[in-house]
Amino acid sequence: MRVITGSARGRRLITLEGSDVRPTTDKVKEALFSIVQFELEGRRVLDLFAGSGQLGIEALSRGADSCVFVDSSKKAVEVVKQNLATTGLARRASVLHGDALRYLQTCRDRFDVAFLDPPYGTGTLQKALALLPPLMRRAGVIVCEAPKGEALPETAGDFSLWRAYHYGKVSLAVYRPQEEEAEDDG
């Protein structure tokens, strides 16, 4: 697993071992960053359920101002820290060990871009989507990775499902702020 482009291009990232680990494939990662490529420069990013941190690290490499990484696994947190050190991006990152849903309930930060890639089939994605919108800036974007066919809500707070993409057994769901209805002038 490597950083695709940007300041850390080509740097190899380590990942957790085990059957519960499901790193985002290069194909899906390339597609995801093609979708948000013009929304990263100078932005604040949240990598929830960070795992190895590859999504947040890719965003930092492509010019995001900062990234908060959250994972409930101590091993994952250590892997994220190692990957940040390897890529030279640690000074623009915060790595937090803790429950993602609890983090969303207590967080006071605001984000421009959020990546959600929780364990599949647990209902955690839907719970996180319900809690995330108040932490997003007005023109923010939320990108979720889920198994193809998993039911996702059409709306999450002030955000609505903008588009879903399918790559083999994986889907990317992109949420953007709902369009405000045009006011009637007359």
> What are the CA-CA distances from residue 185 to residues 66, 110, 130, 180, 182 (Å)?
41, 33, 33, 15, 9
State the pTM of this model: 0.90
Q: What is the pLDDT of residues 76-134, one digit of tens each?
A: 999 999 999 999 999 999 999 999 999 999 999 999 999 999 988 888 999 999 999 99
Q: What is the pLDDT of residues 21-44, one digit of tens each?
A: 556 777 888 889 989 999 999 999
Output the DSSP codes for the chain: -B--SSTTTT-B-----STT--PPPHHHHHHHHHHHGGG-TT-EEEEET-TT-HHHHHHHHTT-SEEEEEES-HHHHHHHHHHHHHHT-GGGEEEEES-HHHHHHH----EEEEEE-PPTTSSHHHHHHHHSGGGEEEEEEEEEEEETT----SEETTEEEEEEEEETTEEEEEEEEPPPPPPP--
How far is the C-alpha of 177 from the C-alpha of 137, rounded, in Å? 9
The residues spanned by each domain of the chain are: 26-177
Look at residue 15 in the predicted model and tell me its pLDDT.
Answer: 86
In sequence order, which residues have a C-beta less than 8 Å from that of residue 40 and are 6 or more positions away? Answer: 33, 59, 62, 63, 64, 113
Q: What amino acid occupies position 97?
A: H
Look at residue 181 in the predicted model and tell me its pLDDT.
Answer: 38
Q: Taking residues 46-70, what's their average pLDDT?
A: 95
Look at residue 53 in the predicted model and tell me its pLDDT.
Answer: 93
Q: What is the pLDDT of residues 148-185, one digit of tens each?
A: 888 899 999 999 999 999 988 989 999 999 874 333 34
Look at residue 68 in the predicted model and tell me its pLDDT.
Answer: 98
Cα angle 161, 101, 29 (rounded to 5 degrees) comes to 50
The CATH code of the domain at 26-177 is 3.40.50.150
